[in-house]
Structure 1
Amino acid sequence: MKLLVCILDDFYKDQVEKELREKGYRMTELASSGGFLRRGSTTFLFGANEDDLPTLRDSLKEACLNVEKTKQRKDKKTHRYTSFLIQSGDLSHLLTNR
């Protein structure tokens, strides 16, 4: 099991959430702020099996492209989202009681 952390521009948030839920992906959505992608970001956490990661990444990209087909961006940003993959074994220290 892997954890995919995806920091997404808010411009894409609603459509990405809708399309990925329709495809059966479960996610946790966190409102995020700060300077990572400048402003207006949402962080999605996805739990996925190794075999499902290519399909999940393709689905993220496809959802963003669908938004761009229907909505015109005023500013031309180069990043739709940034994602980080974390091995579930790396999280075991967070799950222990202290």
Structure 2
Amino acid sequence: MKLLVCILDDFYKEQVEKELREKGYRMTELASSGGFLRKGSTTFLFGANEDDLPGLRDSLKEACLNVEKKKQRKDKRPHRYTSFLMKSGDLSALLGNQ
């Protein structure tokens, strides 16, 4: 099991959440702001098996492209989202379990 932390601009939030839920992905959504990607960001936490990661990443990219096509606006940033992948064993350190 892996944890994919995905930070994206609020411009993409609703469509990404809708499309990924329709495809059966389970996620937790956190409103986030700060210095990393500035305000107006959303953080999604996805729990996924190793085999599901390529499909999840493809679905994220596809959902972002669908937003741009639907709203006829391309985001000016070089990346649509930033993601971090963590092994489930690495999470115990974050949770304070030793």
**Alpha-carbon separation, structure 1, partners of 2:59 and 2:25:** 10
Quote how far apart the aligned CAs of 1:72 are.
Answer: 2.9
Distance (Å, rounded) in 1 between the aligned partners of 2:36 and 2:3: 19
Distance in 1 between residues matched to 2:88 and 2:75, nearest whole Å: 37
Structure 2: tracts of 5 or more residues without a match: none
Cα gap change, 1:50 to 1:70, in 2 (>3 Å): same
Q: Structure 1-normalised TM-score? A: 0.91
Alignment of 1:13-32 (within 5 A): 13-32=13-32
Shift >6 Å, 4+ stretches: none
Q: Measured at CA, do residues 49 and 95 of structure 1 come closer, stay the same or move farther in structure 2, by a change above 3 Å?
A: farther
SS of 1:7 mapped into structure 2: strand
Deviates more, 1:66-75 or 1:1-10: 66-75
What is the aligned-residue identity percentage? Answer: 88
Q: Report the residue type matching 2:77 in the other structure.
A: K
For the structure 1 residues 75 and 56, does the alpha-carbon distance in structure 2 shift closer, same or farther, using more than 3 Å as the test? closer
Whole-Å separation in 2 of the counterparts to 1:75 and 1:31? 20
Query: What is the DSSP-based 3-state SS (H/G/I as helix, E as strand, rest coil) of the residue aligned with 1:79?
Result: coil
Q: Which runs of 5+ in 1 are unaligned?
A: none
Corresponding residue for residue 48 of structure 1: 48
Count the aligned residue pairs.
97
| Cα deviation, residue 95, structure 1 | 6.1
